[in-house]
Amino acid sequence: MPDDRTSVMLERLVGLPRVRVLAVDEAPLRVHVETRPDDVERCPECDAPARVKDRDRVPLTDLPCFGRRAVLVWHKRRWRCPAPSCPTGSWTETDPAIASSRLKLTDRAGRWVTFQVGCHGRTVAEVAADLGADWHTVNDAVVNYGVKLVDDPDRIGTVTALGLDETLFVKRGKWRTKQWSTSIVDVGAGQLLDVVQGRDAGPAARWLAARTPAWRAQIRWATLDMSGPYRKVFDMMLPDATQVADPFHLVRLAGEKLDEVRRRVQNETLGHRGWKADPLYRARKLLVIAQERLDETSQGKLTGLLKAGDPKGEVTTAWHAKEAVRELYAHRDPELALEWVDQLSADMRYRDCPPEVRQLGRTMHRWRTQIAAWHEAQVSNGPTETMNALAKRIKRVAFGLRNFVHWRIRVLLYAGKPDWSKLPTVTP
């Protein structure tokens, strides 16, 4: 047993209130402690003075000390009620300042691992290796501390522009069945509000239904990627919000239709997929480059290749359609936008146009108001895609996640902007 002076120094190094150091073991470093009761322990049932029945030695993984892994061994008292008629029997002392119930980490270690995994995006495995702890020990702490931060009602403030988008959560089973999740994002603040299972309308609609009517009424813009289920969510839950189709997805759709036309014409004219010397195969990269970025040489090369490999002019028509869609976003006039979309979609639906271009025209006609709304709103689903990229980073460094609860907490801690200043006040 250390002397009084040594005990004071050890207790200051340990840094826990109401704790007395009993002994210190080397290799590995194990610090034995017990609590200093402020008052006489009393029975919670009959309020009689309790007696010590036994002591349990509970090892708790603590933060590293002086470059060495450390274990705090808490000599926990097991109390009993002396009254024979009391139904309480015995109970074990608790002290949240040392460790929360059922967690195998000290309280300070639990907060530290939550910050490391949540804020810095480190894996549970590498944090557990730093502490010399089990993976489940660290993960349980992250879940228990993290859920209080991500479910903090103050984390979600006023939202004026809301975005929805899906991201792949996991592939399960023999046939690698895909299971998706939906990201709900404040596109104005660039904050991930929540993650719900599935990419149909139900989960996202239930999440919005759980918000207050006043909170939903403040949402002015609703951004989406021309997804039918998400359009249904906004129609049901945010009828007063203006829906905005994301420009990137429309331009990408036009590029995909151009590529479909090119591959179809390639097979119809030459009877095989693109070979190295085929004109349309040689033109495939020039077709996706913006027209204003083509210099005189590239423009002449593209014209020559289309002339040689596109006898009916279908690829040329699809290329002009793609450029017309891009040109739609070159101006910012809200009044002109809807008229432009109507005229462009009508031109694309002519019978002389390739079937892929006509399909693009029909899509634009169905989403005409959402496409034109961008010119007034000037918001897009770009921040939502950014949140999906952050979520995929968490999944990538973890080499995949299968438990949705763990996925949700890890992603929201990393991209949901929790108030980390509240972490010291969290009680699991």
Q: What is the DSSP string of 15-44?
A: T-TTEEEEEEETTTEEEEEEE--SS--B-T
Q: What is the 3-state secondary structure (H, E, C) of 375-409?
A: HHHCCCCHHHHHHHHHHHHHHHHCCCCCCHHHHHH
State mean pLDDT over 248-259.
96
Q: Which of 395, 15, 385 is nearest to 190 (CA)?
A: 385
Q: Cβ distance 253 to 363 under 8 Å?
A: yes
Q: Which two tokens stand for residue 18?
A: 């109401």
Helices (H) and strands (E) in the chain, counts: 17, 10
Strand partners, 345: none
Residues 170, 158 within the same domain? yes
What confidence tier does 290 reach under pLDDT thresholds 50, 70, 90? very high
Residues 373, 386 within the same domain? no
Task: Give the pLDDT of residue 75.
Answer: 92
C-alpha span between 158 and 211 (Å, rounded): 11
Percent of the chain at pLDDT exceeding 90:
77
Extended beta strands in 150-304, E state: 161-172, 177-186, 191-197, 221-224, 242-245
State mean pLDDT over 56-68.
91
pLDDT digits (tens, 9 = 90+) for 317-361: 999 999 999 999 998 888 899 999 999 999 999 999 999 999 999
Q: Cβ distance 357 to 350 under 8 Å?
A: no
State mean pLDDT over 296-307.
94
Lowest mean pLDDT among 34-48, 148-162, 208-222: 34-48
Domain assignment of residue 108, yes or no: no
Domain assignment of residue 110, yes or no: no
Report the Cα 224 to chain-centroid distance in Å: 17
Residues 6+ apart with CB under 8 A from 186: 156, 159, 161, 162, 163, 193, 383
Q: How far apart are the first and last CA of the chain?
A: 34
Q: Is 1's pLDDT higher than 70?
A: no
Residues 345, 282 within the same domain? yes
Residues 364, 387 within the same domain? no
Task: Give the pLDDT of residue 87.
Answer: 83
Q: Is 96's pLDDT higher than 90?
A: no
Domain assignment of residue 127, yes or no: no
Specify the DSSP class assigned to residue 295.
-
**C-alpha distances out from residue 113 to 15, 63, 194, 267, 424, Å:** 18, 9, 22, 57, 13
Among the candidates 99, 119, 137, a domain finishes at 99
Q: Which two tokens stand for residue 35?
A: 């609590």
Q: Which of 194, 189, 203 is nearest to 161 (CA)?
A: 189
Q: Is 8's pLDDT higher than 80?
A: no
Q: Which two tokens stand for residue 190?
A: 């660039």
Strand order, beta sheet including 242-245: 191-197, 177-186, 161-172, 221-224, 242-245
Lowest mean pLDDT among 4-13, 70-79, 238-247, 363-372: 4-13
State mean pLDDT over 97-106.
89
C-alpha span between 335 and 230 (Å, rounded): 26
Residues 311, 293 within the same domain? yes
Task: Give the pLDDT of residue 111.
Answer: 95
State mean pLDDT over 88-105.
87
Residues 368, 392 within the same domain? no
Residues 363, 220 within the same domain? no
Q: Is 421's pLDDT higher than 90?
A: yes
CA-CA-CA-CA torsion sign (171, 176, 182, 187): positive
Residues 6+ apart with CB under 8 A from 9: none
Q: Is 4's pLDDT higher than 70?
A: no
Q: What is the DSSP string of 11-22?
A: HHHHT-TTEEEE
State mean pLDDT over 281-308.
94
C-alpha span between 228 and 313 (Å, rounded): 33
Task: Give the pLDDT of residue 153.
Answer: 92
Among the candidates 73, 99, 125, a domain finishes at 99
Domain count for the chain = 3
C-alpha span between 238 and 150 (Å, rounded): 24
What domain range includes position 213?
154-246+381-425
Residues 256, 373 within the same domain? yes
Task: Give the pLDDT of residue 18.
Answer: 84
Residues 34, 182 within the same domain? no
Q: Helix, strand, coil % (nearest 5) of the chain?
A: 50, 20, 30
Domain assignment of residue 49, yes or no: yes
The backbone region for 237, taken as left when phi is positive above 0, alpha when psi lies in -120 to 50, beta otherwise, is alpha
- Identify the CATH number of the domain in which residue 405 sits: 3.30.420
3-state secondary structure of 414: helix
Domain assignment of residue 272, yes or no: yes
pLDDT digits (tens, 9 = 90+) for 36-51: 877 778 888 888 888 8
State mean pLDDT over 66-75.
91
3-state secondary structure of 117: helix
C-alpha span between 289 and 298 (Å, rounded): 10
3-state secondary structure of 59: strand
Among the candidates 99, 115, 142, a domain finishes at 99
Look at the chain and count its residues. Answer: 428
Q: Give backbone dihedrals phi and psi of 46, rounded to 5 degrees, phi first.
A: -110, 0
Residues 51, 94 within the same domain? yes
Domain assignment of residue 122, yes or no: no
Q: Is 262's pLDDT higher than 90?
A: yes
C-alpha span between 130 and 367 (Å, rounded): 52
Q: Is 248's pLDDT higher than 90?
A: yes
Task: Give the pLDDT of residue 134.
Answer: 93
Domain assignment of residue 37, yes or no: yes
Residues 208, 313 within the same domain? no
Specify the DSSP class assigned to residue 118.
H
Q: Which two tokens stand for residue 146?
A: 């993290």
Residues 358, 251 within the same domain? yes
Amino acid (one-letter) located at 274: G
292-319 burial, b at 16+ Cβ within 10 Å, e below that, comes to eeeeeeeeeebeebbeebbeeebbbbbb
Q: Would the pTM count as exceeding 0.85?
A: yes
Domain assignment of residue 237, yes or no: yes
What confidence tier does 189 reach under pLDDT thresholds 50, 70, 90? very high
